[in-house]
Amino acid sequence: MHNIKRLQLKNYRLYDTLDTEFSAGINLITGQNAQGKTSLIEAIYVLALSKSHKTPLDHVLIREDQPFAKITGEANLDTKRATLEIILSKQGKKAKFNHVEYKRLSDYIGSMKVVMFAPEDLNLVKGSPAERRRFLDLEMGQVNRMYLHHLGQYRKVLKERNEHLKALQKKKSDDHVLLDVLTEQLIHYGTKIVRARRSFIEALQPIISRVYKTLSGENNLSLTYDPSIEADPYKAYQAKKSLDILTGTTNLGPHRDDCGLYFGSQDLKKVASQGQVRTVALTLKLAVIALLEETKNIAPIILLDDVFSELDKTRKENILKNLPKEAQIFITATSLEHINLNILDNYKLFHIKNGKIEGVETHGSTSKL
């Protein structure tokens, strides 16, 4: 099990300084709008993955008019204790593990496992295919370094191939042998990506229907993999070759894959209600967590930002009842008034106001606190 025991922030978003200790079980973060709830759990996410789930721009994470931001966490990573640190400044970012700087962020990422559910994830259901690919890449990349490596190689070759296609399009080159070589390399890495995605999705499928049923009482949620190339990739690229040159871009491959989400035969993109969208997006995340636990014995830190909005009382309480028992969980909410917290054996409640923790209450047995 991974958990974060102590978190210190310096100049992170609206936080000037913060130093706090969390429960190894459930942490409820409450406060009014714009007081720093999301920023707090975002900081934990950044500490684990070195970038925000909300923005690719690191500098917006630094408190206004300050030269740097620092996030420090003391964590339990299964049997090991570790200090993790991320420092952001104009010069770039540094990641330190037990006070030693990692030169390559990809070696640092994933040492502390987190899974975040955030309002942005609602786009998983109704948004573009890119949203769903990002989900696959992120969740698979945390546990499969080879996948990240292959993805990186694939993107490199794709960029080269696209540049070459543009050169062919503009008749700046007529090197078709180079195009074949790049296509061959693209197929090499692409095949590995597709194979990994297929087995990940196949493993996820039964868990998704199970989790969705416990949250909603509804049956029939299914996830499909819709790869851009179904059969022989050599033939497929050959068939699209003139189109690729005409458009100056690669029209086929894992960078065009998608996933489908269905209730029976109904496409969720078209029919899901707001509450269903939220429940389905959350289901995807909780299913990933269950899969990590079942196959790799990994229990990541679970970050749930504003998970209860729009949900009826039953669904809210189903979420609380079905949270993984062994995991450390953070839940933000503007109000917990209509939720029966007695369902929970123990929890720690933080009240946040204007970038400060105004009050902390602990409930239940202290073994988890």
Ligand X SMILES: Nc1ncnc2c1ncn2[C@@H]1O[C@H](COP(=O)(O)OP(=O)(O)OP(=O)(O)O)[C@@H](O)[C@H]1O
Residue of 5, 14, 341, 349 that binds ligand X (CB under 6 A): 14
The least distance separating ligand X from the CB of residue 305, rounded to whole angstroms, comes to: 7
Q: Tell me the residue number closest to Mg ion, measured at CB.
A: 38
Choose from Mg ion, ligand X, none: what does 94 bind? Cβ within 5-8 Å by kind.
none
Q: Are 113 and 301 in contact (CB under 8 A)?
A: yes
Distances (CA, A) of 337 to 26, 215, 341, 346: 17, 20, 9, 17
Question: Judged by CB, which is closer to Mg ion: 38, or 328?
Answer: 38
Q: How many residues interact with ligand X (rule CB under 6 A)?
A: 16
Question: Judged by CB, which is closer to ligand X: 29, or 151?
Answer: 29
Rounded CA-CA distance 269/30 in Å is 32
The least distance separating ligand X from the CB of residue 83, rounded to whole angstroms, comes to: 24
290 in the Ramachandran plot: left (φ > 0), alpha (ψ -120 to 50) or beta? alpha
Using the contact rule CB under 5 A, the part of the chain among 34-42, 56-64, 296-304, 354-362 near Mg ion is 34-42
Residue of 16, 34, 78, 294 that binds ligand X (CB under 6 A): 34
Q: CA-based angle 162:165:171, to the nearest 5?
A: 145
Residue of 2, 3, 9, 13 that binds ligand X (CB under 6 A): 13
Question: Judged by CB, which is closer to ligand X: 64, or 230?
Answer: 64
Show the site string, 298-317: x = touches ligand X by CB under 6 A, - = not.
--------x-----------
The least distance separating Mg ion from the CB of residue 249, rounded to whole angstroms, comes to: 37
Residue of 38, 50, 142, 216 that binds Mg ion (CB under 5 A): 38
**Pairing, β 114-117 against β 301-304:** parallel
Phi/psi for 82 (5° steps) reads -150, 150
Rounded CA-CA distance 42/52 in Å is 6
The least distance separating Mg ion from the CB of residue 119, rounded to whole angstroms, comes to: 8
Binding to Mg ion by residue 35, rule CB under 5 A? Answer: no
Show the site string, 264-303: x = touches ligand X by CB under 6 A, - = not.
----------------------------------------
DSSP code of residue 211: H
Residue of 7, 25, 36, 284 that binds ligand X (CB under 6 A): 36
Choose from Mg ion, ligand X, none: what does 63 bind? Cβ within 5-8 Å by kind.
ligand X
DSSP code of residue 36: S
Binding to ligand X by residue 162, rule CB under 6 A? Answer: no
Binding to Mg ion (CB under 5 A): which residues in 52-71?
none
365 three-class SS: coil
Q: Of the candidates 320, 361, 362, which has an alpha carbon nearest to the alpha carbon of residue 344?
A: 320
Binding to Mg ion by residue 30, rule CB under 5 A? Answer: no
**Pairing, β 15-21 against β 80-89:** unpaired
- DSSP assignment of 18-34 equals EEEE--SSEEEEE-STT
- Tokens at residue 298, please? 């990994």
Which amino acid is it at 259? Answer: C
Q: Find the helix or strand (DSSP H, E) in which 328 lies.
A: none
Binding to ligand X (CB under 6 A): which residues in 54-73?
60, 62-64
Choose from Mg ion, ligand X, none: what does 35 bind? Cβ within 5-8 Å by kind.
ligand X
Residue 81 makes CB contacts below 8 A (sequence gap 6+) with 74, 75
Residue of 18, 22, 37, 118 that binds ligand X (CB under 6 A): 37
Looking at the DSSP assignment, which residues form a beta bridge with residue 147? none
The least distance separating Mg ion from the CB of residue 305, rounded to whole angstroms, comes to: 6
Residue 57 makes CB contacts below 8 A (sequence gap 6+) with none
Choose from ligand X, Mg ion, none: what does 96 bind? Cβ within 5-8 Å by kind.
none
The least distance separating ligand X from the CB of residue 42, rounded to whole angstroms, comes to: 7
Rounded CA-CA distance 219/263 in Å is 8
Q: Are 111 and 77 in contact (CB under 8 A)?
A: yes
Interface with Mg ion by CB under 5 A: which residues?
Answer: 38
